[in-house]
Amino acid sequence: MKNNLSKIHFLLFLVVVSILVSCSNNDISSKNFKLKQGDILFQDLDCGSLCNAIEKVTKGYKGANFSHVGLVVENNKNILCVIEAISKGVSLTPIDTFLNRSFNSKNKPKVVVGRITPKYFNSINSAIAKATKLIGKPYDDIYIMDDSTYYCSELIYEIFSYNNEPIFKLYPMTFKDPETNKTFSAWEEYYKKLQVEIPESKLGINPGSISRSNAIDIVHVYGYPSGWVN
């Protein structure tokens, strides 16, 4: 009887250990996490009314607010950096510079890491090569696809394809507040200064929709962004 109880206790112990190990392996905020080339960084920036408008119209993974995105690559010294489309154009940015732009209430970078799913692994090397060639291209401040300028999520869309097809989807863009169905005043002022018509309903893409793509696995959180629902 005692031997049987001992065996039962031992089996229960193994079950508990396996559960704990499994939980540890699935911890997307693990301190042991390491970035890889081809990882996609989703960022909750605190850039004011325009970022707020971007985040409000499309929620990201688990409801997170994302207003920026970049691609992890190695530079010519084999150091990981981020290729991103920012106001000065498509740029190669140090990882620390990227991570230290905005922080949550726990002083953690509001950055979430997406990793291309195994089905699309073969797209990573070509994406990195394409992105590298685009460094120096101007920023797309009008947010129109199919020209020689790039905004952050447009860059990611353009470089990733599988069997010659984009792996991320375009959606009709909106610059309207979903609560009022009126154009955000920040966008009205922005496009008025550019003297350009607001591209309402034109096809486009943003960080939130990419983060929810079935081509992406969310593998790490540096710091939980606003809107995140556990």
3-state secondary structure string across the chain: CHHHHHHHHHHHHHHHHHHHHHHHHCCCCCCCCCCCCCCEEEECCCCCHHHHHHHHHCCCHHHCCCCEEEEEEECCCCCEEEEEEECCEEEEEEHHHHHCCCECCCCCECEEEEEECHHHHHHHHHHHHHHHHCCCCCECCCCCCCCCCECHHHHHHHHCEECCEECCCCEECCCECCCCCCECHHHHHHHHHHCCCCCCCCEECCHHHHHCCCCEEEEEECCCCCCCCC
Give the chain's domains with CATH numbers.
32-221 (3.90.1720.10)
Per-residue pLDDT tens for 14-50?
A: 333 343 333 333 456 677 899 999 999 999 998 889 9
Question: Is residue 13 over pLDDT 60?
Answer: no
Per-residue pLDDT tens for 162-189?
A: 988 999 999 999 999 999 999 999 999 9
Task: Output the pTM of the full model.
Answer: 0.86
Contact of 215 with 51, CB cutoff 8 Å: no
Residue type for 19, please?
Answer: I
What's the mean per-residue pLDDT of the chain? 89
Token pair for 210:
């990419």
Question: Is residue 129 over pLDDT 90?
Answer: yes
Confidence category of residue 7, pLDDT binned at 50, 70, 90:
very low
CA distances from 195 to 119, 142, 187 (A): 43, 10, 12
CA distances from 155 to 71, 131, 134, 143, 147 (A): 9, 8, 9, 11, 11
Question: Is residue 8 over pLDDT 90?
Answer: no
Distance CA(154)–CA(151), nearest Å, equals: 5
